Amino acid sequence: LMWRRPKAIEAHFKRQGIGGPPYRLFLGNVKEMMSLMIKASSQPMSPSHNILPRVLSFYHHWKKAYGGTFLVWFGPTPRLTVADPDLIREIFASKSEFYEKDESHPLVRQLEGDGLLSLKGEKWALHRKIITPTFHMENLKVLLPVVGKSIIKMVENWGESSKTEIDVSESFQRLTEDIITRTAFGSSYEDGKAVFSLQSQQMELAADAFRKVFIPGYRFLPTTKNRRSWKLNKEIRRSLMRLIERREKEAEEGGVYGEDLLGLMIKARAEGAISAKDIVEECKTFFFAGKQTTSNLLTWAAVLLAMHPEWQERARAELLGLPDPPYIIPSKDQLDKLKTMSMILNEALRLYPPAVATIRQAKTNVELGGYAIPKGMELLIPILAVHHDPALWGPDADEFNPSRFSDGVARAATHPVAFIPFGLGARTCIGQSLALLEAKLVLTIILRRFDISLSPAYRHAPTVLMLLYPQHGAPLYFRPLLSAPTS
């Protein structure tokens, strides 16, 4: 009980040499955090990659006074920030049995679904086991030609005038939505598309509500938007249930369930392992976890290539090694060999990680790198801050330099756990290889056809609303290359 009292918690950590901004009644440090954030996002920044002060302004601000590990109050909830890679390794990997996911905000929960991202314990382990084969290499391989076609369709009318301005953050969202639909629903792509289009509307409503999260009780008011959201939810559930039943019948008749997410889960349901509601929630989770993350990576990668033409040239030069004719969609093996492309994507993930932070909760009293952490304590891992730390990455930490990855990910920094865009350990991102393969394919197809540059309308303003995204969009110019493939 003692841990519930702010002064006692502050004293507990003070004794261990950990400070932080002082607790204030009810709001904790939320007021200061909000004003730091509002100030940081009130205007675009210079086109530099030193984005920590703008994106995680509270961490940047208090780190100067209290060091990298400090106590901060999200209202009545204390969180300990942990940016030391040795401690991060303990939390995610070597002592992960002492930590679990935190309870997410009900609005976030509604967005992300009650699936793999938030499940705990045995239920999580079971679902992870059922779902993992969705991402087996064989499945990804057959996905590539189909995905390649959607990408080519996307860029088909980009080069109509000599300079076409495209807001890539929107185009990439539509594309990743298409890809995640194929991964999740396989042969039922068309029906899946209808479900995910409802889910997309639902996400927009929830994101809107999320912005108003500081109005207590807001989501319980029967406002027009909330009523729409309830209706959407019901519709999503109903159409998914219909789809599940149809696929079940097909499987009974044909004997195959399919290796897509839906097929694997329907099989598990037939074996009595999971319920229909579990399937609905996992579909939501996939949509949430797979769509925005990957489209944000693609957006920042395209912006970085536009800002750094010398790396654009190097990436394009590497593509000359792919077999002719260039409009044939490259295979997984060919994409795996694109070393410069991998380095560029890693550097994009380092400087602009779509997931800027994550949280864990101590399941028991536990010792973390010499600190005594009380049961229930929340730990905030500021992924973005770790990725920008000069102590790990050197004095050029804020510069775009893909070469730092030339000897592999583990050797890019002074510590192998300095690079964690997909998390680490048992709860590492399940979609990592899909995301990277997808990103490589998209960039390959684009770089072969276009020169990318910033539109004069582009304003550099990375910001965070759950994920890292460009506050004012990402308008870029795509100039067709003379030798671009014609098909």
**Residues near ligand HEM (CB under 6 A):** 116-117, 128, 180, 183, 285-286, 289-290, 293-294, 297, 354-355, 358, 421-423, 427, 429-431, 434-435
Q: How far is the CB of 347 from ligand HEM (least distance, A)?
A: 13
Instruction: Report the candidate in 46, 164, 157 with the shortest Cα–Cα distance to residue 452.
Output: 164
Q: How far is the CB of 115 from ligand HEM (least distance, A)?
A: 7
Instruction: Report the candidate in 313, 259, 291 with the shortest Cα–Cα distance to residue 438.
Output: 291
Q: How far is the CB of 283 from ligand HEM (least distance, A)?
A: 11
Q: How far is the CB of 357 from ligand HEM (least distance, A)?
A: 9
Q: How far is the CB of 428 from ligand HEM (least distance, A)?
A: 6
d(CA 33, CA 74): 9
Q: Is 106 helix (H, G, I), strand (E, B) or coil?
A: helix
Q: How far is the CB of 114 from ligand HEM (least distance, A)?
A: 12
d(CA 106, CA 100): 18
| Nearer to ligand HEM among residue 168 and residue 434 (C-beta) | 434
Q: How far is the CB of 112 from ligand HEM (least distance, A)?
A: 9
Number of Cβ within 10 Å of residue 256's Cβ equals 11
DSSP secondary structure string for all residues of 249-302: HHHHHHS---SSHHHHHHHHHHTTSS-HHHHHHHHHHHHHHHHHHHHHHHHHHH
**Which tokens sit at 356?**
């800027």
| Nearer to ligand HEM among residue 186 and residue 290 (C-beta) | 290
**Which tokens sit at 300?**
């920042």
d(CA 471, CA 469): 6
E-strand spans in 138-244? 164-167
Q: Residue 176 phi/psi, 5° resolution?
A: -70, -30
- Which residue sits closest to ligand HEM, CB atoms considered? 431
Q: How far is the CB of 432 from ligand HEM (least distance, A)?
A: 6
| Nearer to ligand HEM among residue 6 and residue 423 (C-beta) | 423
Q: Residue 133 phi/psi, 5° resolution?
A: -60, -20
| Nearer to ligand HEM among residue 135 and residue 218 (C-beta) | 135
d(CA 236, CA 240): 6
| Nearer to ligand HEM among residue 299 and residue 455 (C-beta) | 299
Residue whose pair of structure tokens reads 């730990």 in the numeric block: 379
| Nearer to ligand HEM among residue 36 and residue 279 (C-beta) | 279
| Nearer to ligand HEM among residue 78 and residue 421 (C-beta) | 421
Q: Is 200 exposed, middle or buried (0-12, 13-18, 19+ CB in 10 A)?
A: middle
Q: Which residues contact 486 (CB under 8 A, 6 or more apart)?
A: 327
**Which tokens sit at 106?**
């009900």
Q: Which residues contact 238 (CB under 8 A, 6 or more apart)?
A: none
| Nearer to ligand HEM among residue 59 and residue 286 (C-beta) | 286
Please report how many Cα atoms fall inside a 13 Å half-sphere around the Cα of residue 473, on the Cβ side: 12
Q: Residue 390 phi/psi, 5° resolution?
A: -60, -25
Question: 367 - beta bridge partners?
Answer: 372
| Nearer to ligand HEM among residue 62 and residue 352 (C-beta) | 352
DSSP secondary structure string for all residues of 403-434: GGGTT-GGGSSSSGGG--TT--GGGS-TTHHH
Q: How far is the CB of 174 from ligand HEM (least distance, A)?
A: 15
| Nearer to ligand HEM among residue 41 and residue 358 (C-beta) | 358
Q: How far is the CB of 119 from ligand HEM (least distance, A)?
A: 7
| Nearer to ligand HEM among residue 184 and residue 452 (C-beta) | 184
Q: How far is the CB of 389 from ligand HEM (least distance, A)?
A: 17
Written as one letter, the residue type at 487 is S
Q: Are 452 and 476 in contact (CB under 8 A)?
A: yes
